[in-house]
A and B are shown apart, each in its own frame.
Chain A
C-alpha cells in the first residue's frame, strides 16, 4: 500500500516548552489510523504540528513532499483537512456558508459537493440557513467533518470528535467515517481519548505518551492488552 503521510522526529510545542519529543508515525492510503493517548499526552499538539497550525521541526512527508515548512493554509491546499478539537465551526456563519468556506482552497465548482453532504447529513440540509452556533453538539461535529471534506482532502485529521457527544451520536459519526473510508478510500488520522469506538474502526493504532510514541499495533492487540484497557478503555 502506498504511503500518504510519514512524520520523522516531529517536534513541536508552545513557547519554550516542547510537547512533542520526536514523533514518528505513518499513514498508508486508505487506512484509518488511531492515536490513543491520555490527556496532555500531546495528541492535539501532534495534529496541529502536522497541519501547520504551530511551528514544528522534523520531517512531515505528505505524498512524498516535505510539508513541515508550510503554513496551515498551504497544507490544506495540498490535501490535508483538519477537524480541530472543539469542532471549530464558524458560529456566526450559516451552515451552508460553513460548507462553502470549506471549499476555499478549491478553484473548481463545488455545488455538487454541498448536495452530497446534505445527502450524508440530512439534518444539515434542514438547517442550512441557520447559524452554525445554534446547532447541537452532534450537528456541529457533522458540520465540521463535512466542511473539512468539502476541500476533497486525501487525508482527514480528526481531533477527538467524540468530545462532548452522547455515545450514540459518536457511534453514528464513526460509522460515517468508516463508510467514507470504505467508499472513497479517504485516509483518516484519528486522535481519541475514549478509545472503545475508535478501535472498532481502526486499521492500525499508535499509543502516545508524554510526547512520544511508545507502541503501535493492530486494534485487536490493544483491545486485549490489560494495561491499555485499564488506561484507555475504562473496563
Chain B
C-alpha cells in the first residue's frame, strides 16, 4: 500500500508540472486558436535567465519572480512582433514561426551558455536528503509538496483571473468571438499579448521548478514536459483550464503507476507511451477531449 501512495504522490507532483505547462498552452490556444510549439523552449530560456540571476547572487525566489516578469514581457513581445503579423496570413505561417522560435531559442541558449551547458540549479524548496515527511508509508519530499502547492495556487489564481476579473471576462470574450469583443470595446491586441505574456510567465515558473528537481539547466530541459503538457491539453479538451489541470495530474499519476508497477514492461523508457495510449483511447471516444466544448453554432 505504501508503494501505491508513493506512486500516487510522485505522479501528482510531476502531474502538477504537466498541468502548469498545459495551462500555458490552453491560455494561448483560447485566445488565438494555435498551439504554441515554442512554449517549452520559452520556459527553458527563462529558466536559464533565472539560473543566471541566481548565479549573480540574487536569491532564487526573487530570480524566479524576475524570470516570470521577463517571461511576461518576452511572451507579449513575441505575440505582437512575430505571431500577429503572420497570423493574418495563415495558421501554417504561425506554425512555422513557432517552430522557428523553438529552434532559435534552443540554439541561442546553447550559444550563450555553452554547448551543451550543464549548470547546477538550486531548488526553490528545501531539497536535502532528509527533507521529507512520511505519510501513509510514502515519503513526501518537501520539494514535491512545494511543486504541488505552487501548481494549485497558480491554477486557483488563473481561475480567479478568468472568472472574477474584468480583464478575465475580456479574455473569455475574445476566445468566444473576437469580432464581437472588438465591438464591445475590448482591445483584442492587448488581450492576445497578455495571454502570451501570462503563458510565458507561468512557463518560466514551471521551468524553474523542473530544473530544481533535476538540478541542472540544459537546452533540452522542457522537451519531454512539453510533450506531456500538450498531451494533457489535448486530453483536457484544449479550451478548458480545469480539463488541462485534471488531465495533467491524471497523466502524471498514470505514467508513474505504470512505470512503478510494471517496471519490466514499461519502466522509465515506455512511460510516455502509456500516457499517449490513454489519450488515443479517450480521443477516439470523445474527439473534443474530456472537458472540451463542442463549439455551438447556429445557422
A residues whose Cβ falls under 8 Å from a Cβ of B: 51, 53, 71-73, 76-77, 81-82, 84, 88-93, 97, 100-102, 104-105, 131, 133-134, 137, 140, 147-148, 151
Contact = CB atoms under 8 A, between A and B. Distances in A.
B170 A90 contact: no
23 contacts: A51-B183, A72-B182, A72-B183, A73-B186, A73-B187, A76-B182, A81-B183, A82-B183, A88-B179, A88-B180, A88-B183, A92-B172, A93-B169, A93-B172, A93-B173, A101-B181, A102-B184, A104-B166, A104-B170, A105-B185, A133-B298, A134-B296, A151-B184
A153 to B, nearest CB: 10
Contacts of A84: 179-180, 183
Interface centre among B170, B177, B293, B297 (most CB of A within 10 A): B177
B244 interface: no
B176 interface: yes
Contacts of A51: 183
B298 A151 contact: no
Nearest to B172: A93
B198 to A, nearest CB: 19
B251 interface: no
Given A101-B170, A133-B296, A137-B298, A92 B175 contact: yes
Given A91-B297, A93-B173, A101-B184, 19 more contacts: A53-B183, A76-B182, A82-B183, A89-B177, A90-B173, A90-B180, A97-B172, A100-B169, A101-B169, A104-B169, A104-B184, A104-B186, A105-B185, A131-B296, A133-B296, A133-B298, A134-B296, A148-B183, A151-B184
Interface string B277-299: 00000000000000001001110
B127 interface: no
A88 B177 contact: yes
Interface in B152-184: 166, 169-170, 172-173, 175-177, 179-184
A77 B185 CA distance: 6
A53 B170 contact: no
Given A100-B169, A104-B166, A90 B183 contact: no
B185 A89 contact: no
B213 interface: no
B183 A92 contact: no
Given A133-B296, A133-B298, A89 B180 contact: yes
A76 B298 contact: no
A72 B181 CA distance: 10
Contacts of B181: 90, 101
Contacts of A77: 185
Contact of A93 (B176, B188, B297): B176
A137 B172 CA distance: 22
Nearest to A77: B185
10 smallest CB-CB distances across A and B, nearest first, come from: A105-B185, A133-B296, A76-B185, A88-B180, A90-B176, A72-B182, A91-B296, A92-B176, A101-B173, A104-B185
Contacts of A91: 176-177, 296-298
Contact of B184 (A92, A133, A147): A147
Nearest to B180: A88
Contacts of B177: 88-91
A71 B186 CA distance: 11
Contacts of B170: 101, 104
Contacts of A97: 169, 172
Contacts of A100: 169
Contacts of B176: 90-93
Contacts of A72: 182-183
A106 to B, nearest CB: 8
A93 B162 CA distance: 12
Nearest to B190: A73
A76 B183 contact: yes
